[in-house]
Amino acid sequence: MSMSDLQRKIQQAGDRKNRSRPSSRSSSRPSSKPGSRSSSRVGSRAPSDDEDEYTQLNFLHHADALTDSLEDLTVDRGDDDEGFRTKDRFSESIQALEEDRRSSPLEVRERALLVILSVITAKYEPQLLTEHLCNVMLRVFKNAKSELESMLALQAICVMAASEDSEVAVEHVSALTTKILASIDNTSLEANTRAHMILGYAMLQFFTLYGSGAFKAEEIVEKLLEIAESDGDSAVASAAILGAGLLTTTVQKPNSIVEQMMPSLIEMLAQPSQEVKLAAGKVIGLYVQNYQYEEDMDEIPFVDYYDLTTKLQEIVTMSSKKVSKKDKREQRSLFRDVLKTVNSFSNHESRHNLTQEDLVITHLKLARSKSLAVDSWNKLLLVQMYRWLFGPGIHTMAANNPFVKDTINDASFDVSSEFNDSSDYVAVSAGADDSDTPRRKHEVNEIERTKFLRARRMEKQQAHSLEV
């Protein structure tokens, strides 16, 4: 197939619905800086009605032209126009990205990336996530000529990294880091682009650090919170806060991070930005919940609990006319949960009286009759980041992608093992025949499986490093 034929087909993949679109839609290039913005996001495209508002990333707004492209190219699987089926679109889009840039227009490359991203986020198909695709995406990101091209390539790399047998190795992440950090620091880029880069950076670091001992995690968390404190844009600050929270979860004992960062997060509750406050509130809930309390300890050292609870209560009862009804409802609901967590974990007795049901914050619907209980702030943050990564595909990924499924399950906060008598757990772990505790046996099996998957990913990354 000639390059001109390939470009024409990719163009048609994005243009088929244009003929039926209302004329009021924007026609600006995706890489331009538009005057008006849509509420859709690159990673959270076309969310369904059942998706929970706690896990939306409302601060990532993009141009109408980009929104249109994502809607059209989140693949119309029933359209076989001119034989250009899904598999054809996918393979030919990869081919388009391999062509000489001088003969491949930027718009064709951007549309090819949109096709690829829509396919690999729609459902879990590990056979598509090849080393070849990984290398193509790494080259595209390195040589990207537009903000959109950079964002889509980075997101595709993150999708491939979120796989049980990921082809994205540690040295790949290290090679990407320099350009990602340069983009984050480049204030001439759109704030939404920089926020997107932060989320991609945090996700890649999470996949690298997960189960590996979290080497240098504290250093990365500090950097992200420095960005959150110093950057004047709420989208950038919010993304940095959420990224810092996510990476803190990779640290087995995060006490030093929590003690150092909590005062800054509490100050952020006074920020005028709704999104900054929401992000700070979620990470405060996470830090209070994940802190490793000593047996006779009540509160986290260096945290002014009176100031914290006062600020949280003020947000819950806020009646400002400047905040929309929807935002006010979301803010009150979420901060009630944060306040509940702070009160429940503020002393030894209340922690030991917690039940698993007390921890449920919200639910993620996986199917019409099946939902996932989000029973920790760790899981809430992880689900939120996966929603950025997979968009509507999060439901099928959470059910079918082994790595995603295991990381989400691993993010639960188990009250019985943290605070209560866990002798039955120890007995089953030691091989005792305890038929009265099938749930414990299942938990042990899941823990062992998670350890096995972590070890296998690390072995593969180390082998890849030796080959290089």
268: pLDDT confidence band, cut at 50, 70 and 90? very high
| Choice between 143 and 7, residue whose per-residue pLDDT is larger | 143
Let me know: does 206 contact 408? Beta carbons within 8 Å: no
Retrieve residue 240's tokens: 């940095």
Q: Does pLDDT of 199 surpass 70?
A: yes
Q: Is 467 within the bounds of a domain?
A: yes
243-271: average pLDDT: 95
Q: Is 231 within the bounds of a domain?
A: no
DSSP state of 3: H
3: pLDDT confidence band, cut at 50, 70 and 90? very low
Which residue in this structure is represented by tokens 């250009």? 84
Let me know: does 279 contact 331? Beta carbons within 8 Å: no
Q: What is the DSSP string of 113-147?
A: HHHHHHHHHHS--GGGS-HHHHHHHHHHHHH--SH
How many whole angstroms separate alpha carbon 146 and alpha carbon 143? 9
Residue 447 belongs to domain spanning: 421-468
Q: Does pLDDT of 440 surpass 80?
A: no
CA separation, residue 292 to residues 255, 285, 345 (Å):
6, 14, 11
pLDDT of the residue at 300: 92
Retrieve residue 245's tokens: 């929270």
Q: Is 99 within the bounds of a domain?
A: no
Q: What is the DSSP string of 422-463?
A: -HHHHHHHTT---TT-HHHHHHHHHHHHHHHHHHHHHHHHHH
Q: Which parts of 254-402 are beta strand (E)?
A: 362-367, 370-374
Retrieve residue 146's tokens: 């537009």
127-132: average pLDDT: 93
332: pLDDT confidence band, cut at 50, 70 and 90? confident
63: pLDDT confidence band, cut at 50, 70 and 90? very low
pLDDT of the residue at 330: 66
pLDDT of the residue at 323: 62
Q: Which parts of 331-416 are beta strand (E)?
A: 362-367, 370-374
Cβ burial of 34 (10 Å; 0-12, 13-18, 19+) is middle
- Determine what percent of the chain falls in helix, strand and coil, rounding each to the nearest 5: 65, 5, 30
Q: Which parts of 289-446 are beta strand (E)?
A: 362-367, 370-374
pLDDT of the residue at 101: 85
pLDDT of the residue at 320: 53
pLDDT of the residue at 457: 54
How many whole angstroms separate alpha carbon 45 and alpha carbon 299? 41
107-131: average pLDDT: 93
How many whole angstroms separate alpha carbon 394 and alpha carbon 379? 13
Q: Does pLDDT of 4 surpass 60?
A: no
| Choice between 75 and 53, residue whose per-residue pLDDT is larger | 53
How many whole angstroms separate alpha carbon 138 and alpha carbon 142? 6
265, amino acid identity? L
Q: Is 405 within the bounds of a domain?
A: no
326-340: average pLDDT: 81
| Choice between 323 and 124, residue whose per-residue pLDDT is larger | 124
| Choice between 392 and 97, residue whose per-residue pLDDT is larger | 97
Which residue in this structure is represented by tokens 């188990």? 414
Let me know: does 57 contact 187? Beta carbons within 8 Å: no
Let me know: does 177 contact 138? Beta carbons within 8 Å: no
Which residue in this structure is represented by tokens 């996510």? 246
pLDDT of the residue at 38: 34
Retrieve residue 124's tokens: 């879990």
Q: Is 428 within the bounds of a domain?
A: yes
pLDDT of the residue at 57: 65
**Which has the minimum average pLDDT: 9-23, 226-240, 331-345, 389-403?**
9-23
Q: Is 72 within the bounds of a domain?
A: no
| Choice between 115 and 421, residue whose per-residue pLDDT is larger | 115
pLDDT of the residue at 40: 35
pLDDT of the residue at 455: 58
45: pLDDT confidence band, cut at 50, 70 and 90? very low
| Choice between 463 and 80, residue whose per-residue pLDDT is larger | 463
State the total domains in the chain. 1
98-126: average pLDDT: 92
Let me know: does 384 contact 239? Beta carbons within 8 Å: no
54-74: average pLDDT: 52
| Choice between 27 and 253, residue whose per-residue pLDDT is larger | 253
152: part of which helix (H) or strand (E)? helix 147-161
Contact partners, residue 358, CB within 8 Å, separation at least 6: 344, 415
pLDDT of the residue at 435: 40
Out of 162-176, 323-337, 395-409, 445-459, the most confident range is 395-409
**Percent of the chain residues topping a pLDDT of 90:** 49
42: pLDDT confidence band, cut at 50, 70 and 90? very low
Scored b (16 or more CB within 10 A) or e, 323-333 reads eeeebbebbee
Q: What are phi and psi of 297, to 5 degrees?
A: -90, 140
pLDDT of the residue at 51: 46
**Percent of the chain residues topping a pLDDT of 70:** 67
80-105: average pLDDT: 79
How many whole angstroms separate alpha carbon 358 and alpha carbon 361? 8
Residue-wise pLDDT for 341-387, tens only, equals 999 998 888 888 888 888 999 888 777 777 888 999 999 999 999 99
Q: Is 441 within the bounds of a domain?
A: yes
How many whole angstroms separate alpha carbon 191 and alpha carbon 37? 12
On average, the pLDDT of the chain sits at 77
Residue-wise pLDDT for 209-220, tens only, equals 887 766 789 999
Q: Is 289 within the bounds of a domain?
A: no
Q: Does pLDDT of 228 surpass 60?
A: yes
Retrieve residue 48's tokens: 């369904």
Q: Does pLDDT of 445 surpass 60?
A: no
121-127: average pLDDT: 93
pLDDT of the residue at 156: 96
